[in-house]
Structure 1
Amino acid sequence: MSDWLRAMEGTPEGQLWAYALALAAAVLHAVFGALQKGRHDPWLSRAAIDASYGLIAAPFALFVVPWPQPHMWPIFAGVFFIHVGYKLLQAMAYSRGAYTVVYPVVRGTAPLFAVLGAGVVFGEHFNAAQWLGVAVLVCGIYGLALYNLRTVTASRETLIAALGFAVATGAFVALYTTYDAYGIRAAEDPFTFLAWFFLIDGMFFPLFMWRRLSRLERAEVAGLMRRGMVGALVAYASFGGIMLATRLGSVGQAAVLRETSTVFSALIGWLMLGERSGPRRVFLMSMIALGAAIVQLAA
């Protein structure tokens, strides 16, 4: 599998696979967000998910894939600290504001910074038409956030702080997207990077939240860990998929495609949670999809 991936890098076929993986990551990221919207607070949910995917990754990292080369350990250290910052900011945003407002702001901020980061780090540069697509997508996502902001009634007293944390979280999403792409491209074997990524990334939050987890009733822990295990499997496919996409093709285009997750999260809310969309939200979601399509077609 690793040899096949390396053979696909930088080819037209590899770019098509990158599109498919990024789009799948968008759908799964929306599912991941819905899982975090449960009755447990975002701090505990994150700890359960991280513990689950760290435990699953451990035997693969230690006994299945080749061990990382020496130059990868400083890269993994950067991965650890960047993802810790992202998760702390995300939990602070989610605990202060409504999900339907915070999530689009996070996702709207990320692609703009990710495209800029890809230009600096990888020398990828969008043309004028692609930048138009980014603008349409970002306007659609922020428009959706503003529309939701008008209708939300819960936690309005902490909403300004939540929006600030959401913007900062979006910047960290762009940072980890660019940095993880650098890391998986630096690794000789991409699956070595993925296995060690999930092992290292799964360490902090369970330890950070251990005191609160230890106070829960046995039934609460069981429910939380069931959700964590499902979230871990989704995380493997979503985060693993987007990292493989950035190795096979353009980082900026993959980042833009992934942010169509906002559309899929709204569809999940409509189909599974009984949330109404209405014509304005449908129009804004259409803008997001149109922006992503422009970016891909104008390449």
Structure 2
Amino acid sequence: MSIFVLSLVLFAALLHASWNALLKSSADPLGALAVMTIGSGLAALPLILYLPLPLPESWPYIALSAVLHTAYNLFLIRAYRIGDFSQSYPIARGSSPLLVTLGAALLVGEQMSWMTLLGVILISVGIISLAHIRNRLHLAGPVAAFTTGAFIAAYTITDGLGARAAGNALSYCGWLFVLDSIPLLLIYLRLHKRLPMAFGSKETWVALGGGLMSLLAYGIVIWAVTLAPMGTVSALRETSVLFAALIGWLFLGEKLSMRRILSCLLITVGAIILGLHL
């Protein structure tokens, strides 16, 4: 992985933390996510209009990934509803790099050096250590968050394989986001009998902007996994938790405890190791 690709993946992590911060502040998470996916789908339209179709062997991956993304979104909402954001987000994001690394090794035969694996482990441990579990007897929140992480790993591996088979990673990304914009809208219409957006509402335009950030963030990741091991890209992407901590401190008035600072340092060390051994 070149320094340019590395920088883009870290930029994708910043974008991901930003749109999750938008979701955190929403009073209607399902509606906000539905609007975000619509925004992503609209922003992806030029990719499907002006790029060649993905190769036929990639379409099963696109269909499977759309299903996995929908399940991920629903479990993400559940994790945020029954658990604290400061607990759910780190567990979900921190568990996925190790699961991606394991899945890529078992399913694709990808191998990493010991130093690269150490970087992945440090990032995962650092991210999970950011989670604050107030009551260890109530595990529904952590379980939902870990399930969310499992779906992240599943769609990351699926998209890694699909993008490599598509012949054009951006075309694959475009069709994925267009198809992914439909299920949450239908679910919202089924539950609420109305559209999730009101074009005179500031929240709608903020969510649409979040959708554009989501497209850019994950589009970079899909492109990167065609050039580098999935586990490495996944671990670097999940440094979004580090950016989320900084955003919370700088813009949301959240405190940075010593434990959070040490966790962030652990993530940073893991990212540096990956950067030096790619």
Q: Name the TM-score, length of structure 1 as normaliser.
A: 0.85
Query: Any stretches of 5+ residues in structure 2 without a counterpart?
Result: none
SS in 2 for 1:106: helix
Q: Name the structure 2 match of 1:128.
A: 114
Q: Match for 1:283: what amino acid?
A: L
Q: Report the RMSD for the aligned CA atoms in angstroms.
A: 2.3
Moved beyond 4 Å, runs of 4+: 156-159, 211-221
Conserved 8 A contact 2:31-2:197: no
State the shift of 1:55 in Å: 2.6
Q: Distance in 2 between matches of 1:111 and 1:157?
A: 24
Q: Name the structure 2 match of 1:50.
A: 37
Q: Name the structure 1 match of 2:105.
A: 119
Q: Name the structure 2 match of 1:11.
A: none
State the shift of 1:240 in Å: 0.6
Q: What are the Cα deviations for residues 112-153 of structure 1, in whole angstroms up to 9, with x where unaligned?
A: 0011122223322122233332332222222211xx334xxx
> Larger Rg: 1 or 2?
1
**Residue 279 (structure 1) aligned to one of 243, 258, 264:** 258
**Residue 16 (structure 2) aligned to one of 29, 38, 42:** 29
Q: Name the structure 1 match of 2:177.
A: 198
**Residue 91 (structure 2) aligned to one of 98, 105, 109:** 105
* Mapping 1:92-171, distance limit 5 Å: 92-145=78-131, 148-150=132-134, 160-171=139-150
**Residue 73 (structure 1) aligned to one of 39, 50, 59:** 59
Conserved 8 A contact 2:44-2:178: yes
Q: Name the TM-score, length of structure 2 as normaliser.
A: 0.91
**Residue 254 (structure 1) aligned to one of 228, 233, 242:** 233
Q: Distance in 2 between matches of 1:128 and 1:71?
A: 33
State the shift of 1:225 in Å: 1.9
Q: Match for 1:89: what amino acid?
A: F
**Residue 288 (structure 1) aligned to one of 259, 267, 270:** 267
State the shift of 1:48 in Å: 0.8
State the shift of 1:224 in Å: 3.5
Query: What is the aligned-residue identity percentage?
Result: 35
Query: How many pairs are equivalent?
Result: 278
Conserved 8 A contact 2:58-2:163: no
SS in 1 for 2:130: helix
Q: What are the Cα deviations for residues 184-212 of structure 1, in whole angstroms up to 9, with x where unaligned?
A: 11111222112111101111101110145
Q: Match for 1:287: what amino acid?
A: L
- Bigger drift between 274-283 and 166-175 goes to 274-283
SS in 2 for 1:71: helix
Conserved 8 A contact 2:23-2:29: yes
SS in 1 for 2:264: helix
State the shift of 1:38 in Å: 1.6
Q: What are the Cα deviations for residues 94-127 of structure 1, in whole angstroms up to 9, with x where unaligned?
A: 1111111100000111010011122223322122
Q: Match for 1:50: what amino acid?
A: T
Residues 220/161 of structure 1: CA separation in 2 closer, same or farther (3 Å cut):
farther
Query: Any stretches of 5+ residues in structure 1 without a counterpart?
Result: 1-13, 151-155
Q: Match for 2:41: what amino acid?
A: G
Q: Name the structure 2 match of 1:153.
A: none
Q: Name the structure 2 match of 1:8.
A: none
SS in 1 for 2:24: coil
